[in-house]
Amino acid sequence: QTSPSSRPTATPTPIPFEPLLDYRSSSRQLKLTVQNIPDSFVQNSQNRLDYEILYTTSSGQQGIAGQIPATGVLPPSVSRDFYLGTCSENGVCTPQLGIGSSFVLNLTTIMDGSSHPQTKTFDF
C-alpha cells in the first residue's frame, strides 16, 4: 500500500534537449547548438525548435528569432551560426557595437503537438 504522497504525479516529461550558446566577441559570431535530440524528434515533420536570442548593444536591445524544422535536424544535435551585425549584398559586413556579455535564449520545443519552453541565460 502506497501513501498518496508517494504516488507519481501527472507532470509532463521535461524535454531533455540541451541548448548551448557560444559567443566569439572578436568575430561577432554567435552559435546556437541544441544537443540530446532524440531520433523520435525527426519522425514527425510537424516538430520544430523555435528560438529567440535576446542581447543588448550600445543601441539597445536586439534579438534573433527563428525556427528549425524537424526536417533540418540530424540527431543528436543541430547548430545555427549567426553574425551579430549587418552585411550588404557585396559582402561588406558591419559589426554591431557595444554588444553586452549576457545572452538570453528562449527555446521552445514543439514535439508531437506539445509545447515545451525553456529559458537560459548565458554570460560570457
Query: What pLDDT digit, counting tens, does each position of 63-74 carry?
Result: 999 999 999 999
The predicted model scores a pTM of: 0.85
Residue 5 has a pLDDT of 52
Rg (CA), the chain: 18
Amino acid making up residue 21: L
Residue 6 has a pLDDT of 55
The gap between the terminal CA atoms of the chain, to the nearest Å, is: 51
Q: Which residues of the chain have pLDDT under 50?
A: 2-3, 10
